[in-house]
Amino acid sequence: MFDATTILAYKGREKAVIGGDGQVTFGDSVLKGNATKIRTLHKGKILAGFAGSTADAFNLFDMFEEFLEDKKGDILKSVIEFSKAWRKDKVLRRLEAMMIVLNNEHIFILTGNGDVVEPEDGEIASIGSGGNFAISAARALKKHATNMDEEELVKESLSIAADLCIYTNHNIKTLTLEDSK
């Protein structure tokens, strides 16, 4: 794993939420503390987050958005086609980068190796340097803090990751999709 940000996504019963911290590092220096590494896509119906080089994030978000438009918002078809294109591109596949994309039905982790991974539980996914801290906290909070809503759970889990990971800060931002069912 490369040294990067922390992104955590949770597809709960009532909401789908993605969150990320705001730290941008270069080697062992912090360049910026309030970057936004999460985004809504396809008319606000898809959430996405990125860990890796910030400049690459814009290209990959735009590229994924094109696949969403082409596939009329079908996230499953879009992640498959996007992953093929990312893997085939000689420059992009070398990026030390990962993405999480989700809607109210699906959640996926995407990499330049062509990986399209839907988490085993289908609910929680994380990427980046603090990803293991964040997902561990999220699983524990989901199990034991039953009064937390999805957004609170994501924020608290990322805060715990920020306490432990030097590449993650407490400038946490979230985006939410309400369940339309």
Catalytic residues: 5
Task: Provide the residue type at 50 as one letter.
Answer: F
Task: Provide the residue type at 170 as one letter.
Answer: H
CA 129 to chain centre: 12
Q: How far apart, in whole angstroms, are the C-alpha atoms of residue 162 and residue 137?
A: 11
Closest Cα partner for 111 from 158, 54, 62, 51? 51
CB 19 within 8 A of CB 26: no
How far, in Å, are 138, 147, 149 from residue 17 at the CA level?
Answer: 12, 16, 10
